[in-house]
Structure formats: structure tokens, C-alpha cells
Structure 1
Amino acid sequence: MGFIFTSPGRTVTAGVVLLILMVVVVGLATGQTLKVDHAYATFVMRWLHVLSGVLWIGLLWYLNFVQVPTMPQIQPVESRSAITRYIAPTVLLFFRYAALATVVTGLLLAWMQRFIVEALTLQTGVVMIGLGMWMGLIMAFNVWFIIWPNQRRILGLVEATAEEKAAAAKPALYASRFNTMLSIAMLYCMVAQQNAPV
């Protein structure tokens, strides 16, 4: 059993296998057969959207509430290089691709539910989900076109002078904090469309 937990890939694979087994066992126990149709495909897309969104926002909050505030406390200063050299690039890899996956699955979900145009044009009936979609799009733009390019300089992943690295810090931080601020309202909009009054 320990073999499963020594690798993130094996752990995720085990999670998927567990899910499949649960679906099969529950289906057999209740006599319900799995009907793969448009409704089920929409459900799976929503699940993928939620999974990628949890990873994205989880990493956003980790960066803003844990890593960034803790970095100045790490002494000696040389010890910080382990984070900037190994941890931060990996976090940012998952961070930006989780943002991309969240946007793609969200747009596909809205298209599958046939309200993508109405949501993006903020029409009555889907205005909350539309607002959430626009906030998500703005946040993903910030990840790919403000945070990531600046972090590449800060972390030394691209050639940059000390001045360029210092200049990159503020836009990266502010875009990340802006996304953190938006994430609170965005998550409300995503849930409010189905479960709560405006």
C-alpha cells in the first residue's frame, strides 16, 4: 500500500481507480446503470472544472498566504534559494496550467449547457455565472501574461539584471493579490448561479 503513496502520479492514479470502483460498486448495489449521455458528459466536465479550479485557487492562496509572506522570515537568506530554485518553479507550473484547465473546462461546460454566449454577454438568468466567468478570464490572463513573465525574471528562469528582477517583483505581487481579491467574488458567483440568490 505504501507504494501508492510514494509518488504523486501513483496517488492520483489510485484516486481515479478508487473513483471508478466506487461508481461501479454503487451502480451494481443500487441497480442503476451508468448512462453515458450529454447530461453525464456535462457532469464530468463540471467535475473536471472543479478539480482544476481547486488546484488553481489552492495554489493561488498557498502563494499569497503561505509562501510569499514566509519568505522574508527564512534565515539565513541563502536558504531561500531552495524555494526559489525548486519549489516555486514547480508551483508556478501547476498554477498556470491549472488556470488554463479551469478556463478551458469552464468554457466547454458553458458551451455544453448552451449558455456560453448569454453568460459572456451577462444576460439575465446567467448574469452571476457570467460575472464569475469574466473574473476567471481576467485572473487567467494575469497568471499567463503578468505573473508568469515576471516570475520567470524573479526566479532567474530567463536572463534578467538585478534591476529587472527587482522591477518584476511589484507587478507579479500585485497581479497575484488582485487575483486573490477576485477569487473571493468569483467563487461566490460560480456557486450563486445554482445555489443562492444574487
Structure 2
Amino acid sequence: MAKVDVNEMSFLDHLEDLRWHLIRATLGVFVAAIIAFTMKTFIFEVVIFGPTEMDFPTYRWLCAAANKIGVETTFCAAELPFIIQNRLVAGQFSMHIWTSIFAGLIIAFPYVLYQAWHFISPGLKTNERKNSKGFIVIASLLFFMGVLFGYYVITPLSLNFLANYTISSKISNEFDASSVIAIVRSSSLASGLVFELPIIIYFLTKVGLVTPQILRKYRKFALVIVLILAAVITPPDIASQVIVAIPILVLYQVSIYISAIVVKRQKKESSS
């Protein structure tokens, strides 16, 4: 079948092309979800419920750091003060299905980006495609870095704080398994998406909606937003919020640098 020129494609042709890319992306997620479904023991025992055990790497590191500076902390406890339970008849099966889908989305994320790029790239100029050659690799790396940050930093900080927070000694913590899974899932996915900030700024700069001057001008407002975001996705203690805020601020600064490079290249191309 002959390749159709993107400039000759009608609106309906573009919609049809988009539909097939969405179908392929969905199939990629579905296949990855099936693989995750067959790895039930590893996904739940090692990954999902890993942060509920005190031998989790983050707890060991924070306990060692606290011991060095002589601070008493709950990170050195023998176990987290809660039990995990399921109260629904089909609860465990439902959790298995949905966790597999979200795991499939994370695993297949580079392939989803690949399909998105193949839909967008024909509309770009030759030099734009050349300059954006590493888009899939960089975006995937940022996403997985964010997922790891959410899993190894935000999730254990949240679980440890919430498990040890009490309003009365008469209340025992019996967390529903779906609630624990939701913390792991939301922390990891939210961080993965937040780490895509440089990529988002790159494209916003390309279309002229953002400039490095605007990013620098509103840096103070961005700082406030970052601190609010850190307060929302972490426990309400200063140390946790600072730990989360630092990489987001670094990403914002990197985004300013990327935006400046894009603007510089655009000016160079327009003058040549």
C-alpha cells in the first residue's frame, strides 16, 4: 500500500490514522497487562506490598540516617502498625485485574509514546523531527524516573506517616488492601507524569505558548505551586515535603533551560 502524504490527508483520514494508533497503543497496554497478570506473586508480594515491610530499602536508609544524627524515628521500628485486609467478596480478584492494567500502562508507556510520536511526527518539519529524535527515549526515562521516585520516596513516606498517625489508642489500623494499592499506584503514576514537565515545556515552547522569560518571571509562583503539590502528595511534615519539592524544582529549572534552547533554535532557523 502506497504511503499517503500527510498534507493530502483529509480530517477524516487523520481521525482514522489516530484511531489505529490508539488501537495499537491500547493493544500494547493490554499485552503488558496480561504479562503483569501472570506475575501475581511478584507484582503484589514484592512490588505493591514491598513498602509495607520495614526491610524496604527506603526505611533502612532513613533509619541509618536518623541513627547517624541521633534522631529517634519510626523508620527504625520492627514493623508498621497496621494489618491489610479485604472486605469484599470479589475484592482480591478486582484488585488483581486493575493492578495488572495499571502495571501494563507503566510497562507499555514507551510503546504508547511511540504510537503518539508516529501520529504527530508526519506533521513536523524535517529539522523538527531531527531535533526531536530522542523524544521517546528521554520521555520514557523521565517517566520511569518519576515512577521510581514515587515508589521509593513518596509511597514509603506516606505509608509510614499514615500508619503511625493516631488520634486515639482505642483505634487500631486495619487498612483495606485497595487503599494501600491506591497509595502505591497514585504516588508512582503521579510522580511519573510530574517528571514529564521538561517534555511538556518543550512542546509548549515549540507552539509559542511558553517562553523562558515567562518561566523565569513566574518562578516564585511556580515555587508556591510546587510546595502546595508536595504538600498534597506527601504527608504533612516538612522533611517529606522538602524531599519531594527538590526534584520538582530541579525539573522546573531544567524546563527553563530547555525552553531557552528551543527559542534560540527557532530564532536561528528564522534568520537563516
Same fold (TM over 0.5): no
TM-score (norm 1): 0.34
| Larger Rg computed on CA atoms | 2
TM-score (norm 2): 0.27
- Structure number with the higher helix fraction is 1
